[in-house]
């Protein structure tokens, strides 16, 4: 209660109470997620000294004095690797150093002259995945075995403070379509079930969206028609209006007709409700009634102008009028969004 009182007092004096509370809520959420992540982040990753190998992992055996032994050894489901002329040797749940000793002992039974330094073992990091978006270090990462989603995010040094972990997108290079899969990593962290998250195929891409990026999910709106980047977008709590949705979609295209923008919304009875708004009125007057608020799941459709109207707009007079209108619109937007 004391912390809340301090926040309320400071925000009231600064005249920024709503802004302060939004920042405080974001900070609390970030700390809460990381309090659940800290134990998981302490886990050892493939390739590290204390990593214990499991089924599916691979190591490269090199014995210069016996070239016929050189090659990759894959740990089978039974936890063993198969050595030439020797057979299976159980190595699961061993570190690389422990595995080296186990394999050396097995080889020495057949080749007594071998010295321990004659045998070298290196993990095979053959599973490559890409991690991008709101992570600390986006890039290409290799694993000795197929990693799960959270392992890949940890490899990229974890999410940033703006990450939307409940909408992590996985795109597989093996897929013949452009569709991607959405995974709720936040829920897995909260419930301690990160070990049940999907295993990533080779060459797949993990995209961690931020609050400022477009995404595919139930909490956003769909913007279609005459905009620069049609798609699904997540609206911020302070900007849930039609104009914000259009701006998130890159703004209106040159052929857009803003005087008859449609909003489609699913009704409780299963019917689709339709509403028409004139964004030109909002741009000219700043009247909020011409820029209504949206709900999650809404679709905003921006129509195109007819061919004749488009040509008239693009003659010399239309260009001048357009520039003047754009300048006025920007000033109105700055004035309204700055309140």
Domain CATH number, residue 303: 3.10.560.10
Cα–Cα distance measured from residue 27 to residue 9, given in angstroms and rounded to the nearest whole number: 18
- The distance of Cα 127 from the centroid of its chain, to the nearest Å, equals 20
**81 and 116 within one domain:** yes
Give the structural domain span for 247. 221-337
Q: How many domains does the chain have?
A: 3
Q: Which residues contact 102 (CB under 8 A, 6 or more apart)?
A: 89, 90, 91, 94
**260 and 133 within one domain:** no
**281 and 251 within one domain:** yes
Cα–Cα distance measured from residue 76 to residue 108, given in angstroms and rounded to the nearest whole number: 22
pLDDT digits (tens, 9 = 90+) for 128-163: 889 988 899 998 888 877 889 999 999 899 998 878
pTM: predicted TM-score of the whole model, two decimal places:
0.41
Residue identified by tokens 């990450």 is: 163
**225 and 104 within one domain:** no
pLDDT digits (tens, 9 = 90+) for 43-69: 566 667 788 888 878 888 999 888 888
pLDDT digits (tens, 9 = 90+) for 184-242: 898 899 899 999 999 998 888 998 887 655 444 556 788 888 888 777 777 766 668 89
Q: Of 59, 54, 87, which Cα lies nearest the Cα of 73?
A: 59
pLDDT of res. 136: 92
Percent of the chain topping pLDDT 90:
19
Q: Of 21, 8, 37, which Cα lies nearest the Cα of 186?
A: 37
Tell me 8's DSSP state. H
**226 and 157 within one domain:** no
Q: Which residues contact 70 (CB under 8 A, 6 or more apart)?
A: 60, 61, 62, 63
Positive/negative CA dihedral, 136, 139, 142, 148? positive
Cα–Cα distance measured from residue 63 to residue 41, given in angstroms and rounded to the nearest whole number: 35
**285 and 140 within one domain:** no
**163 and 38 within one domain:** yes
Tell me 77's DSSP state. T
**246 and 328 within one domain:** yes
Token digits for 74? 């894959």
CATH of the domain at 117: 3.30.1950.10
Query: 42 or 115: whose pLDDT is higher?
Result: 115
Residue identified by tokens 């392992």 is: 151
**169 and 108 within one domain:** no
Q: Which of 178, 208, 238 is the last residue of a domain?
A: 208
**331 and 236 within one domain:** yes
**273 and 186 within one domain:** no
Q: Which of 97, 123, 149 is the last residue of a domain?
A: 123
**171 and 137 within one domain:** yes
């Amino acid at each position: 209660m004391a912390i809340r009182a301090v926040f309320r007092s400071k925000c009231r004096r600064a005249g920024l109470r709503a802004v302060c509370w939004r920042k405080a809520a974001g900070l609390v959420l970030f700390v809460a997620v990381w309090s659940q992540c800290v134990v998981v982040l302490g886990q050892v990753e493939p390739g590290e000294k204390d990593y214990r190998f499991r089924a599916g992992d691979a190591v490269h055996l090199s014995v210069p004095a016996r070239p016929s032994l050189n090659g990759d050894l894959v740990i089978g489901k039974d936890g063993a690797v198969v050595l030439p002329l020797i057979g299976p040797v159980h190595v699961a749940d061993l570190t690389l150093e422990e595995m080296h000793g186990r394999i050396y002992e097995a080889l020495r039974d057949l080749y007594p002259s071998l010295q321990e330094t004659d045998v070298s073992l290196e993990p095979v990091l053959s599973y490559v995945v890409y991690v991008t978006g709101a992570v600390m270090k986006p890039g290409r990462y290799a694993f000795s075995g197929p990693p799960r989603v959270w392992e890949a995010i940890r490899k990229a040094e974890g999410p940033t403070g703006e990450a939307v972990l409940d909408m992590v997108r996985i795109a597989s290079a093996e897929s013949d379509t452009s569709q991607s899969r959405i995974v709720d990593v936040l829920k897995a962290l909260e419930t301690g079930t990160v070990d049940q998250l999907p295993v990533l195929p080779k060459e797949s891409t993990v995209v961690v969206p931020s609050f400022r990026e477009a995404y595919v999910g139930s909490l956003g709106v769909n913007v279609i028609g005459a905009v620069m980047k049609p798609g699904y977008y997540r609206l911020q709590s302070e900007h849930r209006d039609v104009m914000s949705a259009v701006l998130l979609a890159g703004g209106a295209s040159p052929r857009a007709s803003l005087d008859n923008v449609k909003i489609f919304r699913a009704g409780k009875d299963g019917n689709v409700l339709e509403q028409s708004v004139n964004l030109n009125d909002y741009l000219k007057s700043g009247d909020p009634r011409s820029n209504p608020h949206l709900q999650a799941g809404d679709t905003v459709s921006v129509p195109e102008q007819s061919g004749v109207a488009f040509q008239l707009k693009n003659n010399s007079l239309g260009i001048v009028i357009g520039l003047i209108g754009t300048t006025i619109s920007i000033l109105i937007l700055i004035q309204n969004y700055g309140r």
